[in-house]
Amino acid sequence: MKFYQKTWFIWLSLFLLPPLGIFLLWKEKKYSKIPRTLLTLFFTLYFLLGIIPSDGSPPDSPVFNPQETLHQDKGSLSDSDSDSDSDSDSDSDSDSEDSIIGSFPEEDKKDGKKEDNAKGETLEIHYIDVGQADSILIKGPQGHAILIDAGENNDGDFLVNYLKEQGVSKLAAVVATHPHADHIGGMDKVILSIPIEKFYMPKVSPTPTTRTYEDMLEALVAKGLKITQIRSGVKLNIPGITGVFLGPVKSSYDNYNDFSAILKIAYGNTSFLFTGDAESRAEKDLLAKGNIQATVLKVGHHGSNTSTTNEFLKAVSPQYAVIPVGKDNSYGHPHKEILERLAAAGVKIYRTDQSGTIIATSDGKTVKFNTSPSSNTSNPSKPSSSSGSASSTPSKSSAATPKSTSPITKPNPIPATPPAPSSSNVKITNIDLRGEVVTIKNNGSTAVDLTDWKLVSVVGNQEYYFPLGTVIQPGGTLEIHSGKDALEGPGKLIWGKANIWNNSGDPGHLVDNTGKTVSSYP
- Secondary structure E strands in 255-386: 262-267, 270-274, 296-298, 320-323, 348-351, 358-362, 367-369
Three-state secondary-structure class, residue 36: helix
Gyration radius from the chain CA atoms: 26
Q: What residues are paired with 291 via a beta bridge?
A: none
**What is the pLDDT, as a whole number, of residue 103?**
29
Q: pLDDT (tens digit, 9 = 90+) per residue, 310-343?
A: 999 999 999 999 999 999 888 889 999 999 999 9
Q: How high is the pLDDT of residue 98?
A: 31
Q: Report the distance separating Cα 286 and Cα 307, nearest Å.
A: 13
The pLDDT of residue 463:
84
Q: Which domains does the chain have, with CATH numbers?
A: 3-46 (no CATH), 123-369 (3.60.15.10), 426-521 (2.60.40.1260)
- What pLDDT is recorded for position 18? 85
CA angle at residue 412 from 407 to 414, to 5 degrees? 145
Supply the pLDDT for residue 110.
Answer: 38
Supply the pLDDT for residue 515.
76
Helix-helix angle 66-73:211-222, to 10 degrees:
140
Q: Report how far residue 144's alpha carbon sits from residue 129's, in angstroms, rounded to the nearest whole number.
A: 21
CA 342 – CA 289 distance, rounded (Å): 22
Q: Parallel, antiparallel, or unpaired for β 320-323 and 270-274?
A: unpaired
> What is the reported pLDDT for 25?
81
Q: What is the DSSP string of 368-419?
A: EESSPPPS---SS-PPP-----TT----TTGGG-TT-SSSSPPPPPPPSSPP
Regions of the chain short of the pLDDT cut 70: 1, 50-62, 64, 67-120, 375-423, 460-461
- Amino acid 219: pLDDT: 95
**Which pLDDT does position 266 carry in this prediction?**
95
**Residue 366 CA from chain centroid, whole number:** 26
- Which pLDDT value is given to residue 413? 41
Q: Would you report the helix, strand and coil content of the chain in percent, each value rounded to 5?
A: 25, 20, 55
